[in-house]
Amino acid sequence: MLAEIITIGDEILIGQIVDTNSAFIAKELNKIGITIHQITSVPDDRDHILKALRDAEARVGFVILTGGLGPTKDDITKLTLCEYLEDELVMNEEVLEHIEELFRKHISSTPISDLNRDQARLPATAIPLHNPYGTAPGMWMQRHGTVIVSLPGVPYEMKHLLKESVIPKMVSEYERPYIIHKTIITYGLGESAIAERISEFESALPDFMKLAYLPNLGKVRLRLSAKGTRLEPLQEAIAEATKTLHTLIGELIYGEEDDENIEIGVGRLLTKKGVSLATAESFTGGRIAEMITAIPGASVYFKGSVVSYATETKINVLGVPEALIDAHTVVSKEVVEAMATQVRKLMRSDFAIATTGNAGPTKGDSDADIGTVFIAIAGPDGVQAEKFNMGNHRTRIVTKSAHKAFEMLQKEILKF
């Protein structure tokens, strides 16, 4: 079963806002066995909207529109839908009562206007979908066997309507296949190297299963997807494929939950072991600490961080000997080991991460080439440091280094 998403609004096409609605809709529909065939963004323009509707209707059974349902003149979605459906706008008394109630209870400082009341005017053949959080209802319509659903562009309004009205109606009225996914998170090897190691496995996958590579800086997600009419055989096949991947590349796998990052897995491991962590960051500028503290409950294991960006901070705050820096420069194995050791002592933590390197665009206090990075992990058994070259793009260098630091930390914790 196929669907298309059409997002409407000039603000999307000029980059004023990011279209997060499409991603949410696609993910939720996929959960109930509906495959997204295409996503289209169009301006608040009659001709563009009409063409997008005609094209989508020729391809799929469901069309989901978001945006253009506001009370102002630039919001033309309802009028255009009426033209497309050869319908007319009529006042819906239940929707009107809801709008008036919203103004009485929550918008009392602003008098209701005819523009607001006109939001209760819907295509005569549309089934209204109650929107408790706004004045624009959702609408469920049909033409030539294709379902057309129009939703507000405001994300929290759209999400509520999709989950509470649209999806339950789809589930109850239409038979759909099962689509299941399993996403495996890997760190430490690029997608081409992974593909080479599992090429025979990939070639042997059954027709109903696909493997996708989703690379990001420092990690690769492997998504197994299976589609069919019976759920249990799909689940068994995914489980068997996952087991095989663990056999082939188990040392690279750091999680199996969709969208779980390595820092979450490391945090879980720190909590389980009952040990603590501190960080001393130079070129990463607090990025590692930020990733840690974004996790709810990180205060259980995270002691704190010193962002020793300047050389004098390494000396005066962390206590790295100036003579050590003079002898080896700030971007060196000796200095990063001292940083990790000192911050572990300062914060009284069980483990510590330290980073020093040159992320560019200039060389700063060191002659090290741009992309040269040293990362150290200090723990109960001493301190370990490694040198890396992370490329020549500043953001890429920082992001890859942060991921590599967590990868190194995880290996050290597992020895504990």
Tens digits of residue pLDDT in 7-16: 999 999 999 9
What tens digit of pLDDT does each residue of 303-359 get? 999 999 999 999 999 999 999 999 999 999 999 999 999 999 999 999 999 999 998
Residue 407 phi/psi, 5-degree rounding, is -60, -45
Q: What band does 274 get if pLDDT is binned at 50, 70 and 90? A: very high
pTM for the model? 0.66
Residue 124 has pLDDT above 60, yes or no: yes
Q: Is the Cβ–Cβ distance between 41 and 51 less than 8 Å?
A: no
pLDDT of residue 47: 96
Residue 258 has pLDDT above 60, yes or no: no
Residue 155 has pLDDT above 90, yes or no: yes
Mean predicted confidence (pLDDT) in 378-394? 93
pLDDT of residue 361: 78
Q: Is the Cβ–Cβ distance between 133 and 157 less than 8 Å?
A: yes
pLDDT of residue 111: 84
- Among 416, 381, 403, residue whose Cα is nearest residue 254: 403
Residue 32 phi/psi, 5-degree rounding, is -105, 20
Cα–Cα distance between 147 and 142 in angstroms, integer? 5
Cα–Cα distance between 227 and 66 in angstroms, integer? 27
pLDDT of residue 364: 66
Q: Which amino acid is it at 127?
A: I
Place of tokens 């997204």: 36
- Among 315, 302, 396, 299, residue whose Cα is nearest residue 353: 302
pLDDT of residue 106: 76
What tens digit of pLDDT does each residue of 186-229 get? 988 899 999 999 999 999 999 999 999 999 877 899 999 999 99
Place of tokens 């991603």: 23
Compute the chain's Rg from CA coordinates. 27
pLDDT of residue 218: 77
| Six-digit token string for 169 | 């109606």
pLDDT of residue 7: 97
Residue 306 pairs with which residues in a beta bridge? 280
Query: Considering Cα of 377, then 381, then 387, then 391, what sign does the dihedral take?
Result: negative
- Provide CB contacts within 8 A for 97, sequence distance 6+: none
Strands 277-281 and 302-307, how do they pair? parallel
What tens digit of pLDDT does each residue of 31-66 get? 999 999 999 999 999 999 999 999 999 999 999 999
